């Protein structure tokens, strides 16, 4: 769970651990289904160690992380402000796949076209799943917007795979 | 399971000699009842031509088509028209709605052409508009509807005579993302209701919902997939949530 | 100058691009201009031949005649004193006669015809010596016939005729300027009464020896007398007639006729043709406007994209309109020229002065006025039909012109609702009409114009038949007037029908073109090709019906007006029904062809948005 995201979710007011989990679940919908509770608390512990968050146990109950109340420190708030102003975009990892195809062709390890087809099929399956999830959501939920983004990205990736297929087909017919 | 639609050796050629173009080249296709088949391919690969052949809107140069038990190639123009009327619902990319008719009048048109009484046709049209979520837009002209709504009217029209098979040519070609979702939902409903669908598209969103996905290039089928099985990763991973 | 070159180049290229449409336009306007030219050119065409005949035969400037009044006791022949007095009247320089004139019955070749038999000397007369064109002049036992009359009877020199029972043989045929040629002989009451019956308007003219003519006079039909006068000032014939009178006792009637009146009567033969052709010409013009409007209007919408390009390249609306009009104006000028030429060449066929005058009238004078009027009419027709679409096209905003969005049809809720209740072909037809109601109106109007013309022609035929039915001796005799009228009306009918056919084909083709998308869609949704083509035909026939029905009263009215307020002739109901049925059938047949051709093309070709 990315650190800055958790920080930002604490920015409004001090929050219980379980409330934090609930808010995340609501914002992510089906995407967050497999989100592990443990991952969040690991992140919170790291943030505590880094001095960006403080944890206060509620009266009476010790140790259980979801009962603790977490709060941003001044350093934490500053970090949130900086994060909000950043404009870097999540990096798509096309380079790895591109190199995979070239390596397979050069070293005769496998048929690039078969690799492309397999990847395409996988992406189509993911697209199917994402679409089904999107259709199950109501049009105004937060999760619906996120799912649309996932779908559109998968579409873009699939278009690139089609281009890969065209190019590698031409290369094969030329060789 | 006998196929509802069965095509063998379909060919469609234009021109002669040097200028000969094979828009559809020796295609075989079987579509079972209740199946959704998506045919994908880049522009110019012949998929729209193929769909027109399957729907009886054009005659193939060679090959046979059997639809709902009739051999399409042997039918005269009048019998072909009746087949189109009763067994096929066609959805065009350009919608092809009549601009001067309201949504309800557009949807009831195939029923009127089939000779049903105006009242029955109108009732059916309103039913279908309700099913496609446009009940409150029945009296609107196409110019007052958004692209997605117009396509949904076109889909309703294709269903007017309760056809055995619905053929859709790039149904989301002219639509934006939100309208596409509406149309996808509609196709999903139809699929669950048991309607046989053949959809031609270059949009992977539609293709991903099909039972069978056929790739087409230069008039030929190059690949066929069934998207069975789960995915290699969860949605969370897709979304960039580190595990 | 550059702009003019641009305009003419664009216009020429567009015409070459669509030659069929250009030819159809040309045909429509030319038909109208030919008819109009004929009507105008036939004005006063026989004056030449009449004057020639008058000069050669030394025709009279004034003829005076007396005869016993109808119903009077026939014992006493009329007195010749009045005529004798005229011989020495001031202004008269020469005379011939008085000659006896008998009303007789001529029987020949199975025909029985009333004639005026004038008694003449064998010697040549000073005034009015009819010119013998075949055979010889009068001699005992012989009769000379007026040439047109002889042709109508089918008689030649050497034949035998019987006059009032006496047998004569035909010694010659002659032409004269003293009476109008057959059948205009009797007019202005210069004929004797015949057995007390009303004047027959078709008596023939014959000449005999004086003795023979006198012998023909009976107690029942006594003789009259005619005097031919030559005046010192021929132009003053009317003055002479007014200043001198022939008034006598009431037992006799008299009349004086000037040569100008006789010339007009001869002209009547041709003027009848003109009377029919001129209103006919305007009918043809109306049909031509309709054709041009449909063709040009259709082309204007096709040109929207061109308009957009011109405007985007910097053309002003005026320039754009000029380009759009230029090709039509060019066609109009060519059509006017062709119409003038064809009309000028064919006018002699319709204006031949008849056998009773000397010589062919020659090509009718093509005055600058006629030519100017025809050109103006051709231009007027074109502008009337093309101005509005051209201006509208020029004013379309550039963006929408480039997007080539044709004017979307307006919604006609009532027609749409009604059509849903009808069988499929009528549903299609009615909805097609609802898309372009103005074109349907135009179709109704042109059918109305066509039927008006045909009904007027039928009314004329019926009127002549009525008149013919009253007198037995018309039967079997070829009446040159009605023959000529039939000829002219046949020409007019052919022109009108051609124009109407062209009009219908154009409209049907334009409708089929415009209906391509809806009819392809109808076929894609399950309409059979027959339903669609019947629907297309219905879209033309349904508006034609009220038009055809309206044409009936209009045609009857037109004939009544053209006949100078004469008999209102109503053709029999069976004829009218046949016209309406025939018109509708023709409309259906002419539109069935483009409709069926259109229905053959695969629907997919029309509906596909892109090749895929």
Structure tokens at C28: 């429509």
Contact A121 B223 (CB under 8 A): no
How far apart CA A110 and CA C280 sit, in angstroms, is: 89
Q: Calculate how close chain C gets to B229, using CA atoms only, in Å.
A: 31
* b/e sequence A98-121, b meaning 16+ C-beta within 10 Å: eebbeebbeeeeeebbebbbebbb
Structure tokens at B229: 């099985």
Are A101 and A34 contained in the same domain?
no
Are A74 and A110 contained in the same domain?
no
Q: Calculate how close chain B gets to A122, using CA atoms only, in Å.
A: 6
Residue A173's contacts (CB-CB under 8 Å, 6 or more residues apart) are none
Q: Do chains B and C touch (3 or more CB pairs under 8 A)?
A: yes
Domain ranges (residues) in chain B: 3-227
Domain boundary residue among A43, A58, A85? A85
Contact between C390 and B80 under an 8 Å Cβ cutoff? The reply is no
Are A62 and A107 contained in the same domain?
no
pLDDT at position C609, please? 46
Q: What is the DSSP string of C403-437?
A: TT-PPPPPP-HHHHHHHTTS-HHHHHHHHHHHH-H
Contact B52 C608 (CB under 8 A): yes
pLDDT at position B149, please? 93
End-to-end CA distance of chain A: 47
Q: Which residue has the higher pLDDT, C201 or C612?
A: C201
Contact C410 B121 (CB under 8 A): no
Which of B15-29, C134-148, C458-472, C492-506 is the least confident region? Answer: C458-472
How far apart CA B178 and CA B149 sit, in angstroms, is: 11
Q: Which of B49, B90, B99 sits opposite C409 (nearest CB)?
A: B99
Does B42 contact A at CB distance below 8 Å?
yes
- Give A32-87 pLDDT, tens digit per residue: 777 777 888 888 889 989 999 998 877 665 667 677 888 889 998 888 888 877 76
How far apart CA C65 and CA B100 sit, in angstroms, is: 79
pLDDT at position B126, please? 95
DSSP B102: -
Percent of chain B with pLDDT over 90: 46
Q: Which residues in chain B have their CB less than 8 angstroms from residue A126's CB?
A: 231, 233, 235, 238
* pLDDT of residue C476 exceeding 70: no
Three-point CA angle C413, C416, C420, nearest 5°: 140
Cis bond upstream, residue C535 (ω within 30): no
Q: Which residue has the higher pLDDT, C583 or C392?
A: C583
Residue of B49, B68, B112, B219 to mutate, interface with C, max C Cβ within 10 Å? B112
Residue of C417, C526, C610 to mutate, interface with B, max B Cβ within 10 Å? C526
How far apart CA C90 and CA C106 sit, in angstroms, is: 39
Tell me which CATH code domain B3-227 carries. Answer: 3.40.50.300
Domain boundary residue among A34, A66, A85? A85
Mean pLDDT of C466-483: 51
Does A135 contact B at CB distance below 8 Å?
yes
Residue A30 sits in a domain whose CATH number is 1.10.10.10
Contact A33 B223 (CB under 8 A): no
Q: Which residue has the higher pLDDT, C408 or C44?
A: C408
Are A66 and A102 contained in the same domain?
no
pLDDT at position C350, please? 65
How far apart CA B142 and CA A37 sit, in angstroms, is: 51
Mean pLDDT of B114-121: 91
Are A77 and A59 contained in the same domain?
yes
The structural domain count of chain A equals 2
Are A105 and A67 contained in the same domain?
no
Are A65 and A128 contained in the same domain?
no
Contact between A59 and A78 under an 8 Å Cβ cutoff? The reply is no
* pLDDT of residue C148 exceeding 60: yes
Beta carbons within 10 angstroms of residue C74's beta carbon: 18
pLDDT at position C470, please? 46
Residue of A127, A139, A146 to mutate, interface with B, max B Cβ within 10 Å? A127
Does B213 contact A at CB distance below 8 Å?
yes
Q: Which of B177, B229, B240 sits opposite A90 (nearest CB)?
A: B240
Does C76 contact B at CB distance below 8 Å?
no
Does A24 contact B at CB distance below 8 Å?
no
Contact A121 B225 (CB under 8 A): yes
* pLDDT of residue C185 exceeding 70: no
Q: Which residues in chain C have their CB less than 8 angstroms from residue B85's CB?
A: 525-527
pLDDT at position A98, please? 85
Which of C86-100, C129-143, C420-434 is the least confident region? Answer: C86-100
Q: Which of A34, A148, A162 sits opposite B177 (nearest CB)?
A: A148
Tell which residue, B133, B158, B159, has the closest CA to residue B146.
B133
Residues for chain A: how many in total?
A: 175
pLDDT at position C245, please? 74
Q: Which long-range contacts (CB under 8 A, 24 or more apart) does B56-59 make?
A: B56/B80, B56/B83, B56/B84, B56/B88, B57/B84, B57/B90, B57/C524, B57/C602, B57/C603, B57/C604, B57/C607, B58/B12, B58/C602, B58/C603, B58/C604, B58/C605, B59/C602
Q: Which residues in chain B have their CB less than 8 angstroms from residue C521's CB?
A: 96, 98
Mean pLDDT of B146-155: 92
| pLDDT band, residue C188 (cuts 50/70/90) | very low
Task: State residue C150 phi and psi, 5-degree precision.
Answer: -60, -40
Contact B230 A125 (CB under 8 A): yes
Q: Calculate how close chain C gets to B223, using CA atoms only, in Å.
A: 18
Domain boundary residue among A23, A50, A85? A85
Structure tokens at C156: 């030649």
Mean pLDDT of C388-417: 72
Q: Closest-CA residue in chain B for A135?
A: B185
Task: State residue C134 phi and psi, 5-degree precision.
Answer: -140, 145
Which of A48-52, C138-142, C352-356, C363-367 is the least confident region? Answer: C352-356
Mean pLDDT of chain C: 77
Percent of chain B with pLDDT over 70: 93
| pLDDT band, residue B232 (cuts 50/70/90) | low
| pLDDT band, residue B88 (cuts 50/70/90) | very high
Q: Which residues in chain A have their CB less than 8 angstroms from residue B230's CB?
A: 125, 129
* pLDDT of residue B242 exceeding 70: no
* pLDDT of residue C81 exceeding 50: yes
Could you tell me the strand order of the sheet in which B21-32 lies? B21-32, B3-14, B62-67, B70-71
Q: Closest-CA residue in chain C for B98?
A: C518
Mean pLDDT of chain A: 83
Does C420 contact B at CB distance below 8 Å?
yes
Q: Which residues in chain B have their CB less than 8 angstroms from residue C522's CB?
A: 109, 113
Question: Residue C13 CA to chain centroid, in angstroms?
Answer: 38
Q: Which residue has the higher pLDDT, B214 or C127?
A: B214
Mean pLDDT of C397-417: 72
Look up tokens 């040309």; give the residue.
C26
Does C436 contact B at CB distance below 8 Å?
no
| pLDDT band, residue C404 (cuts 50/70/90) | low
Domain residue limits at A165: 94-174
Q: What is the DSSP string of C64-111?
A: EEEEEPTTS-TTSPPPSHHHHHHHTSTTEEEEEEEEEEEEEEEEETTE
* pLDDT of residue B239 exceeding 50: yes
* pLDDT of residue C196 exceeding 80: no
CA distances from residue B228 to B204, B211, B212 in whole angstroms, order as listed? 16, 8, 9
Are A52 and A32 contained in the same domain?
yes
Range ranked top by mean pLDDT from B88-97, C234-243, C262-271: B88-97
**Burial class, A151, CB count within 10 angstroms (exposed 0-12 / middle 13-18 / buried 19+):** buried
Contact C602 B84 (CB under 8 A): no
- Give C208-223 pLDDT, tens digit per residue: 998 888 888 776 667 7
Which of C21-25, C391-395, C540-544 is the least confident region? Answer: C391-395
Does C529 contact B at CB distance below 8 Å?
yes
Range ranked top by mean pLDDT from A56-70, B122-136, C505-519, C528-542: B122-136
Does B85 contact C at CB distance below 8 Å?
yes
pLDDT at position A80, please? 84
Q: Which residues in chain C have their CB less than 8 angstroms from residue B200's CB?
A: 612
Subunits touching B (CB < 8 Å, at least 3 pairs)? A, C
Are A68 and A135 contained in the same domain?
no
Mean pLDDT of B13-41: 89
Domain ranges (residues) in chain C: 62-264, 411-612
Are A67 and A113 contained in the same domain?
no
If contacts are CB pairs under 8 Å, which of residues 190-209 in chain B contact chain C? Answer: 200
Does A30 contact B at CB distance below 8 Å?
yes
Percent of chain C with pLDDT over 70: 76
Contact B236 A35 (CB under 8 A): yes
Contact B113 C521 (CB under 8 A): no
pLDDT at position B161, please? 92
Contact C412 B100 (CB under 8 A): yes
Task: State residue C62 phi and psi, 5-degree precision.
Answer: -140, 135
pLDDT at position C471, please? 39
Question: For the complex shown, is ipTM > 0.90?
Answer: no
Mean pLDDT of B66-87: 86
Contact A131 B243 (CB under 8 A): no
Q: pTM for the full model?
A: 0.70
How far apart CA C432 and CA C543 sit, in angstroms, is: 11
Three-point CA angle B170, B173, B177, nearest 5°: 125
Q: Which residues in chain B have their CB less than 8 angstroms from residue A32's CB?
A: 236, 241
Residue of B41, B205, B211, B216 to mutate, interface with A, max A Cβ within 10 Å? B205
CA distances from residue A81 to A43, A46, A52, B64, C346 in whole angstroms, order as listed? 19, 19, 13, 68, 99
pLDDT at position A110, please? 76
pLDDT at position B144, please? 92
Does B82 contact C at CB distance below 8 Å?
yes
């Amino acid at each position: 769970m990315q650190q800055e995201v958790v920080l930002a979710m604490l920015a409004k007011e001090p929050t219980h651990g379980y409330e934090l989990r609930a808010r995340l679940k609501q914002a992510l919908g089906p995407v967050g289904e497999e989100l592990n509770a443990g991952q969040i608390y690991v992140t919170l512990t790291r943030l505590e160690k880094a001095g960006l968050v403080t944890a206060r146990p509620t009266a009476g109950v010790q140790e259980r992380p979801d009962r603790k109340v977490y709060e941003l420190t001044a350093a934490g708030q500053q970090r949130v402000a900086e994060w909000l102003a950043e404009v870097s975009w999540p990096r798509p990892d096309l380079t790895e796949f591109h190199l995979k195809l070239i390596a397979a062709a050069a070293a005769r390890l496998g048929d690039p076209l078969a690799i492309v087809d397999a990847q395409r099929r996988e992406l189509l399956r993911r697209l199917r799943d994402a679409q089904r999830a999107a259709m199950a959501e109501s049009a105004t939920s937060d999760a619906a917007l996120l799912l649309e983004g996932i779908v559109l990205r998968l579409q873009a990736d699939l278009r690139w795979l089609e281009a890969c297929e065209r190019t590698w087909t031409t290369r094969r017919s030329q060789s | 399971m006998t196929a509802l639609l069965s095509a063998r050796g379909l060919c469609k050629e234009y021109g002669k000699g040097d200028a000969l173009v094979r828009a559809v080249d020796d295609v075989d296709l079987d579509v079972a009842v209740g199946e959704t088949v998506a045919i994908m391919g880049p522009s110019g690969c012949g998929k729209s031509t193929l769909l027109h052949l399957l729907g009886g809107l054009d005659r193939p140069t060679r090959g046979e088509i059997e639809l709902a038990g009739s051999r399409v190639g042997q039918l005269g123009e009048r019998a072909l028209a009746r087949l189109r009327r009763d067994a096929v619902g066609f959805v065009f990319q350009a919608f092809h709605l009549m601009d001067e008719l309201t949504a309800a009048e557009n949807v009831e048109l195939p029923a009127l052409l089939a000779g049903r009484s105006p009242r029955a046709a109108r009732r059916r049209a309103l039913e279908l508009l309700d099913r496609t979520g446009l009940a409150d837009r029945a009296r609107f002209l196409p110019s007052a509807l958004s692209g997605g709504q117009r396509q949904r009217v076109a889909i309703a029209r294709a269903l007017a005579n309760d056809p055995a098979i619905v053929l859709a040519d790039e149904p989301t070609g002219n639509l934006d993302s939100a309208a596409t979702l509406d149309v996808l939902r509609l196709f999903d409903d139809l699929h669950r209701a048991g309607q046989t669908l053949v959809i031609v598209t270059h949009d992977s969103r539609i293709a991903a919902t099909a039972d069978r996905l056929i790739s087409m290039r230069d008039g030929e089928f190059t690949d066929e997939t069934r998207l069975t099985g789960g995915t290699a990763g969860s949605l969370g991973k897709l979304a960039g949530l580190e595990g | 100058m550059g702009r003019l070159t641009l305009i003419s180049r664009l216009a020429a290229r567009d015409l070459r691009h669509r030659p069929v449409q250009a030819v159809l336009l040309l045909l429509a306007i030319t038909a109208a201009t030919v008819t109009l030219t004929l009507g105008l050119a036939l004005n006063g065409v026989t004056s030449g031949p009449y004057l020639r005949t008058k000069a050669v035969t030394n025709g009279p400037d004034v003829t005076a005649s007396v005869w016993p009044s109808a119903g009077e006791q026939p014992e006493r022949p009329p007195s010749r004193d009045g005529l004798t007095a005229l011989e020495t009247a001031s202004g008269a320089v020469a005379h011939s006669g008085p000659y006896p004139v008998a009303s007789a019955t001529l029987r020949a070749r199975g025909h029985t015809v009333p004639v005026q038999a004038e008694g003449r000397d064998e010697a040549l007369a000073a005034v009015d010596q009819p010119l013998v064109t075949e055979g010889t002049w009068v001699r005992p036992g012989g009769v000379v016939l007026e040439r047109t009359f002889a042709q109508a009877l089918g008689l030649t020199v050497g034949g035998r005729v019987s006059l009032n029972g006496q047998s004569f043989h035909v010694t010659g045929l002659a032409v004269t300027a003293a009476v109008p040629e057959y059948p205009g002989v009797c007019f202005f009451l210069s004929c004797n009464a015949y057995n007390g019956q009303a004047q027959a308007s078709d008596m023939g003219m014959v000449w005999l020896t004086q003795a023979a003519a006198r012998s023909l006079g009976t107690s029942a039909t006594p003789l009259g007398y005619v005097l031919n006068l030559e005046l010192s000032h021929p132009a003053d014939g009317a003055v002479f007639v007014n200043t001198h009178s022939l008034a006598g006792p009431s037992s006799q009637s008299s009349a004086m006729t000037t040569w100008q009146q006789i010339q007009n009567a001869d002209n009547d033969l041709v003027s009848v043709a003109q009377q029919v052709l001129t209103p006919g010409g305007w009918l043809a013009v109306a049909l031509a406007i309709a054709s041009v409007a449909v063709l040009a209007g259709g082309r204007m919408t096709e040109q929207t994209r061109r308009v957009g390009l011109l405007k985007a390249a910097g053309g002003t609306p005026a320039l754009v309109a000029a380009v759009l009009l230029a090709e039509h104006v060019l066609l109009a000028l060519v059509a006017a020229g062709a119409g003038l030429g064809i009309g000028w060449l064919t006018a002699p066929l319709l204006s031949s002065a008849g056998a009773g005058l000397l010589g062919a009238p020659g090509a009718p004078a093509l005055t600058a006025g006629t030519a100017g009027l025809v050109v103006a009419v051709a231009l007027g027709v074109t502008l009337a039909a093309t101005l509005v679409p051209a201006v509208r096209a020029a004013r379309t905003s550039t963006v929408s012109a480039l997007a080539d969005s044709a004017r979307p049809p307006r919604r006609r809720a009532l027609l749409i609702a009604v059509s849903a209740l009808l069988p499929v072909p009528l549903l299609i037809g009615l909805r097609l009409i609802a898309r372009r109601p103005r074109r349907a109106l135009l179709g109704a109007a042109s059918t109305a114009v066509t039927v008006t013309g045909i009904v007027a022609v039928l009314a004329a035929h019926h009127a002549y038949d009525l008149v013919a039915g009253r007198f037995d001796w018309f039967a079997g005799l070829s009446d040159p007037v009605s023959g000529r009228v039939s000829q002219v009306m046949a020409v007019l009918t052919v022109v009108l029908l051609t124009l109407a056919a062209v009009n219908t084909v154009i409209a049907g083709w334009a409708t089929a073109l415009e209906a391509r998308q809806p009819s392809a869609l109808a076929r894609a949704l399950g309409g059979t090709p027959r339903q669609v083509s019947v629907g297309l035909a219905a879209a033309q026939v349904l508006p034609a019906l009220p038009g055809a029905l309206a044409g009936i009263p209009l045609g009857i009215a037109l004939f009544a007006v053209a006949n100078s307020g004469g008999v209102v002739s109503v053709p029999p109901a069976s004829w009218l029904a046949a016209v309406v049925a025939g018109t509708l059938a023709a409309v259906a047949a002419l539109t069935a062809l483009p409709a069926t051709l259109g229905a053959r093309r695969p629907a997919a070709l029309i509906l596909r948005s892109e090749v895929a």
